[in-house]
Structure 1
Amino acid sequence: MGPRGRRLVASLGTVVFLIFYVWAVIAIGDHLPNSPWIDMAFFAVAGIAWGVPLFPLFKWAEGGKPKD
């Protein structure tokens, strides 16, 4: 698969993943105790953690480029 095809697959995969990730974060956030500090900590971590599972997908999508 060429670079354009890998990027297309990665883009679609990212959109699908983020739809389910946002749904899951909101569902979990509804079950937390009613405290602004807990909400702030949970959503801060959730707002950063979405990228971790996507790093391998991004690396794969750019796999055809030579290293500088």
Structure 2
Amino acid sequence: MTNPSWRKPFGMFLILLLILVWSIIVVSLAGLLDGLPWPVHALYYTVAGIVWILPLKPLLRWMETGKWRA
């Protein structure tokens, strides 16, 4: 039996940290949209809601294999 890997708990911590930092950035920049029509707000939050997922693929790969690249 092998010892459990520390990468998964640490990776989960990094994911939570990524979500926290990204949400702070998104909310901080949202003030720049004041006075703009609602479709601009909708587009901003849609893009911001999708972009944070991009760094997850290499992070999840690292959590499973220990390698950043395939």
The two structures, once aligned, show a CA RMSD in angstroms of: 1.7
- Establish whether residue 40 from structure 1 lines up as the match of residue 38 from structure 2: no
Is the 8 Å Cα contact of residues 3 and 61 (structure 1) preserved in structure 2? no
In structure 1, runs of 5+ residues without a counterpart are none
Q: Provide the C-alpha distance between the structure 1 equivalents of 2:14 and 2:31, rounded to a whole number of angstroms.
A: 26
String of CA shifts for 1:10-31, please: whole Å, max 9, x gaps.
0000111110100001111111
Name the residue aligned to 1:9.
Answer: 10
Which structure has more relative contact order (CA 8 Å, sep 6+)? It is 1
Q: Identity, % of aligned pairs?
A: 25
Q: In 2, are the aligned partners of 1:7 and 1:61 still within 8 Å (CA)? A: yes
Whether the aligned pair in 2 keeps the contact of 1:3 and 1:62 (CA below 8 Å) is no
| 1:54 aligned partner | 56
Code of the aligned partner of 2:65: G
- Return the TM-score normalized by structure 2: 0.79
Say how many residue pairs are matched.
Answer: 63
